[in-house]
Amino acid sequence: MATDYGVDLTNGEGKCFKRIITEGKGSAMPQTGDTVSVHYTGTLLDGSVFDSSVERGELFTFELGQGRVIKGWDTGVATMKKGEKAMLTCKPEYAYGARGSPPKIPPNATLQFEVELFSWKSAADLTDDGCLQKYVVTKGAGWRKPRAPYRVKVKVVQLDDAGATPAADEAETLVDAAEPVSLTLGSGASPTLDMVLPEMAEGEVVRLVASGVSPGHYLRPQLAAGIHMPDDPNDETASRAYLVKLLGWAKVEDVSADKDGSLMAEFVAEGEGYAGEGEGAEVLAEASSDAPLVFDIDAADPNVPAVLDTLARSMAKGAELVVRAAPSAVPDAVREAAGDGVDAFTITASMLAFENEPYETAMNEAQKFEFAGKRKAEGNRLYGAGDYARAAEKYAKALKYFKASATDAAPDAWSSSDDEGDDEGGADADATGPSADEKNNLILTCHLNEAASQLKLADGAAKAVASCSAALQLDSTSLKAWFRRAQGNMALHEYDAAEADFAKVLELDPENKAAAKGIKRAKAFAVKEKKRQKNLYAKMFG
């Protein structure tokens, strides 16, 4: 419907109108998601100007249809052609509503904008120069999308007509006839697909159009790689179009401790139901190279890669994964079975079954002792493998079983042992539960071992001090607890506290040379720290 304001853009609702002042060029108009550049002057109906990009001398840019501007702009600019100048009249519902935008725009104001559309960057333009354009033919399912370094499976087919987008049914038929291709995102095997696929959902079909940008450069090689190169590299006007369908992907993660790529896990099947937590999980694993080796995951088996212990926690029944490992990341037994000259290993694992352990509150004392012993043994294995963070987690898990018991027990009930944890915990526990000495020894050992693990971590000193303090509540004569707490306090720059802890070690063991050296170091560092603080205060207040 046409009025003095122009054409009603709201299907007769009278909320937004457009009157063309200067016709634009061509027939193309910006699409939702495109970034448009305009000049505008905004006025009230009385002609008073409240805002103008023209006066500022700067083009205004925004993403069309994304709610970044008032509704009248998203509606009106979408109908404009390049070079067009138009007057948009926006009723309050398509402007700033009942509240207005004080102090310049009053409540319930009808606004007018003289808008000139200079250009837009298509959301489909992947290269900012029109060299590669993407158009969605069939939307994918769900919201998940792949990312590097996932393994993806795709189908790609070249179209005879680069200028037309086939209907969805026709496109599906064409692309389904192609052979599937697998590649690793981010590997550079196809920079074009590295660019396109992370924005696609499973089952999505897109049309890619590649066109020349300058003489002799029909399609930049780095964009064409992995899809198609022109039949005639000198054909600077030709275009090529392709259909790409994302069939699916397998999640790939760098699971190495240092994130150095020495352990890359590919989850080839997710399994059914809920994931286990690794505790009591039965996993059939095969570490293969020239000489395959098959074994069952077991917490006390030193030949099991520690990474599988970690990954099993996120695997549901029937889940499968493949771990590609450098020689340094696999157990000695695997390397020895493979022989010399093997520079890469592939470990495949399938979750056959798992049984989640009962909650601590549902366990009797015998069960707590048994499960705590298993977690301590796992911690010992991980500590020996250099995985100190996971080792600390295992010791902390073991201590959770006895949290209530440790809190309620009388101080004189605790064992004075400071054993490092070589015993195997609950192996001999009977149904009536462990003795007080057995239980207390296990708790003390886990505190000490957790402290040792935390001291190996860059940010673990405070937790190490806390673990040692807990151990000392159980056994005030534990040399290891006093010594490790001193080490933690040194790392925290608590030199006076460290000196006191080292002194306690000497009191209990007068021949302890390490403690004597520790006292000297603590005193020396304390002097340096006091001098540093004195100089700092002198600069601040001098």
Average pLDDT, rounded, for the chain: 80
Confidence category of residue 219, pLDDT binned at 50, 70, 90: very low
What's the confidence (pLDDT) of residue 275?
59
pLDDT at residue 334, rounded to an integer: 66
Q: Which residue has the higher pLDDT, 319 or 472?
A: 472
Both ends of the chain: CA-CA distance in Å? 79
Helix (H, G, I), strand (E, B) or coil at 204: coil
Domain span(s) for CATH 1.25.40.10 in the chain: 364-492
**Is 232's pLDDT higher than 80?**
no
- What confidence category does residue 514 fall into, taking pLDDT thresholds of 50, 70 and 90? very high
Does domain 132-250 sit in CATH 1.10.3720.10?
no
DSSP of 27-90, one letter per residue?
A: S----TT-EEEEEEEEEETT--EEEEHHHHT--EEEETTTTSS-HHHHHHHTT--BT-EEEEEE
Residue 230 CA, distance from chain mean position: 38
- Is the pLDDT at 127 greater than 80? The verdict is no
Could you read off the pLDDT of 326-335 as tens digits, one per residue?
877 776 766 7
Task: Provide the token pair at 16.
Answer: 């937004």
Q: Any catalytic annotation for residue 369?
A: no
> 135 versus 399: which is more confidently predicted?
399
In this prediction, residue 260 carries a pLDDT of 81
**Which residue is catalytic, options 5, 40, 60, 369?**
40
Catalytic residue among 50, 135, 295, 525: 50
Please give the CATH topology (third level) of the domain spanning 2-121.
Chitinase A; domain 3 (3.10.50)
How far apart, in whole angstroms, are the C-alpha atoms of residue 79 and residue 57?
A: 24
Active-site residue, from 51, 125, 176, 509: 51
pLDDT class for 416, splitting at 50, 70, 90? very low
More confident position, 128 or 30: 30
Annotated catalytic, 135? no
* Residue type for position 365: E
What whole-number distance in Å separates Cα of residue 62 and Cα of residue 38? 9
pLDDT digit string, tens, across residues 294-323: 555 545 555 566 666 666 666 777 778 888
Whether residue 40 lies in the annotated active site = yes
HEC profile of 294-344: EEECCCCCCCCCHHHHHHHHHCEECCEEEEEECHHHCCHHHHHHHCCCCCC
Residue 190 pLDDT more than 60?
Answer: yes
Active site residue 274: no
**Does residue 61 contact residue 100 with C-beta atoms inside 8 Å?**
no
Global pTM value: 0.49
Whether 218 sits among the annotated catalytic residues: the reply is no
Q: Which of 94, 113, 354, 402 is catalytic?
A: 113
328-361 pLDDT, tens digit each: 777 676 677 767 777 777 777 777 766 666 677 7
Q: At the top level of CATH, which class does the domain 255-353 belong to?
A: alpha beta
Mean per-residue pLDDT, 162-167: 69
pLDDT at 286: 53
- What whole-number distance in Å separates Cα of residue 351 and Cα of residue 320? 7
Mean pLDDT over 54-80 rounds to 93
**Model confidence at 436, in pLDDT bands (50, 70, 90)?**
confident
The catalytic residue among 60, 96, 150, 401 is 96
pLDDT of residue 313: 64
Average pLDDT over residues 471-498: 96
Q: CATH 3.10.50.40: which residues of the chain?
A: 2-121, 132-250, 255-353
Which pLDDT score, from 0 to 100, does residue 258 have?
Answer: 76
113 assigned to active site: yes
Q: Could you give the 3-state DSSP secondary structure of residue 390?
A: helix
Rounded mean pLDDT of 188-216?
78
Residue 193: its pLDDT value, please?
87
Average of per-residue pLDDT across 400-422: 45
Alpha helix ranges (H) inside 115-253: 168-176, 191-196, 221-224
- pLDDT band at residue 265 using 50, 70 and 90 as cut-offs: confident
Active-site pick, 34, 70, 242, 309:
70
Burial class (CB in 10 A: 0-12, 13-18, 19+), 108: middle
The residue-averaged pLDDT of 389-404 equals 86
| Amino acid 222: pLDDT | 41
The pLDDT value recorded for residue 228 is 45
CATH number of 364-492: 1.25.40.10
State the average pLDDT over residues 231-260.
75
Q: By mean pLDDT, which of 56-70, 183-197, 310-324 is the weakest?
A: 310-324
Query: Does pLDDT of 494 surpass 60?
Result: yes
Please give the residue that has the higher pLDDT: either 310 or 156: 156
* pLDDT(143) > 80: yes
Q: Encode pLDDT of 371-385 as tens digits.
A: 899 889 989 988 987
The C-alpha atoms of residue 126 and residue 197 are separated, in whole angstroms, by 12
Contact in structure between 115 and 123 (CB atoms under 8 Å): no
User: Is the pLDDT at 45 greater than 90, yes or no?
Assistant: yes
Q: Is the pLDDT of residue 392 over 80?
A: yes
